[in-house]
Structure 1
Amino acid sequence: MSAVPSRRAILSLYSSTLRTAKSFSSYNFKNYFVRRTRDVFRSIQAEQDPSRVQSMYQEAVQDLTVMRRSAIVNQLYGGWKLAVEDPAKPVLERSDN
């Protein structure tokens, strides 16, 4: 049985996965993968069983390799920008007063 990953290894994987998630050119994919990354690593953080932490870590490593390939393809075929992403359009702030 392999050793439980260290806190530093998990944090390094988290930052790599988050960086890759933010590299998607598509707004919807980017937001989905950032949200999914945070959810996955919160569940790893909450897990107490060392063998389960190890298996979740290994799954996250495999997901990172798939996400990296997907991000490259998404950057090649990004498509049009959404209105939400348009930097030239002024952002309207919500007033709750």
Structure 2
Amino acid sequence: MAATAPTKQSMLSLYASMLRASRTFSSYNFRQYFVRRTKSVFQEIKDEQDPVKLRTFYAEKKKELDVLKRSAIVNQLYGGWKLVVEKQSPVRERADS
């Protein structure tokens, strides 16, 4: 039986889901790392034609997506202070000062 590769649409959907999950981290460093990592991993496999490699890649990344989602939830529970590089709302002055 020939190995069928995942469709281009399913790969793009997985890519979008991983980026979406990566952007839900409350910690700036984790968020940036997982976004960069997702982009680079999918960039490497972009021109692959071997259906077996593509199917293996898809299965691994599907599992990784589940782990990424769970990790993001835990990170949101224990999120810390925002860093200087993150966009922050300006500090408002008191009216009676």
TM-score computed with the length of structure 2 as normaliser? 0.84
2:13 paired with 1:12 = yes
Distance 1:21 1:66 in 2: 11
Compute the displacement of 1:87 (Å): 2.0
Write the deviation string for residues 20-68 of structure 1: whole angstroms up to 9, x where unpaired. 0000000000000000000111122122211111111111101100000
Identity %: 54
Aligned to 1:37: 38
Letter in 1 for 2:9: R
Distance 1:14 1:40 in 2: 10
Q: Secondary structure of 1:83's match? A: coil
RMSD: 1.4
2:62 paired with 1:61 = yes
Aligned to 2:23: 22
Structure holding more helix per residue? 1
Letter in 2 for 1:68: K
TM-score computed with the length of structure 1 as normaliser? 0.84
What residue ranges of structure 1 are gaps of 5+ in the alignment? 90-97
Larger radius of gyration: 2
Number of corresponding residues = 89
